[in-house]
Amino acid sequence: MLDSATLDRITAQVATAQAAPHTMPKLTEVYPGLDVEDGYAVQDRLLARWLDEGRELIGLKAGLTSKAKMEQMGVSEPSFGILMRDTLDPEGSIIPTQCLIHPRVEAEIAFVMKDELGGPEVSIDQVLDATDFVQPAIEILDSRFEKFKFDLPSVIADNGSSARFVMGGRPRRARNVDLRTIGMVMELNGEIVAMASSGAVLGHPARSIQMLVAWLHGRGRTLPAGSIVLTGGATAAIAVKPDDAVIVRYQDMGEISVRFG
């Protein structure tokens, strides 16, 4: 564990890189002792800093939820990050790319919780019971590291490459759809660029929330009622540039679109 002063220094560096935005050297190269827990300690400090600035926490996100990404990073559980209210854009909006370095988009399922969830081992049923509704989401990722090259502690400190996210399409009650088999087709400027089934996320996106709640429990916390949870990209992450239009169609959940300016 790095000392408090070092963690503060890293936090300031990440906050500046995100706000500018600009890239920074991989954190573990500068701070070889940085581990996963340090990464989350940086996230906690980022959150405190952003709350001080008057920003609001709106939810949490899971990342590295596909088997391919987990194997690539050598991990067996997702990484988690925080979502601020002012990073949620309405569907159909135009997202300015000047505020982004090298954005990529992923399609996924968002959960909106109605009840608080806590404990070491909540079941899928408990997750579904505590869910208000599920909805299509597009996450706009933007690593603050060159070419999205990072290791686990660095990406966690960078809040899981979180930049912005969009929710829209048709909300569904979680019990009224089979969340293992929602087909998703992503088109970039009219051409199919990515496809997936919602089960690409750990077999069922509610498993992301199960693991999130267990992880929160280990830190003495719960998942608050009203939280939005992004359960992790089901599709590959696709690079976008100014004037690109992205649309994702979901089986029985409508579609969601966003453009880049």
Interacting residue ranges for other proteins, rule: CB under 8 A: 67, 178, 180-185, 192, 195-200, 202-203, 234, 249-252
Closer Cβ to other proteins, 95 or 179, answer by number: 179
Least distance CB 197 / other proteins (angstroms): 3
Closer Cβ to other proteins, 33 or 203, answer by number: 203
Least distance CB 68 / other proteins (angstroms): 11
Q: How far apart are CA 215 and CA 199, in angstroms?
A: 21
| Contact residues for 221 (Cβ-Cβ < 8 A; gap 6+) | 118
Task: Characterize the bridge pairing of strands 238-239 and 104-113.
Answer: antiparallel
Residues 145/153, Cβ–Cβ less than 8 Å: no
Closer Cβ to other proteins, 83 or 177, answer by number: 177
Q: How far apart are CA 15 and CA 73, in angstroms?
A: 24
Closer Cβ to other proteins, 192 or 225, answer by number: 192
Closer Cβ to other proteins, 25 or 203, answer by number: 203
Q: Which amino acid is present at 119?
A: G
Least distance CB 108 / other proteins (angstroms): 13
Q: What is the 3-state secondary structure (H, E, C) of 52-79?
A: HCCCCEEEEEEECCCHHHHHHHCCCCCE
Q: How far apart are CA 32 and CA 28, in angstroms?
A: 5
Least distance CB 234 / other proteins (angstroms): 8
5's enclosing H/E stretch is: helix 4-19
Least distance CB 198 / other proteins (angstroms): 6
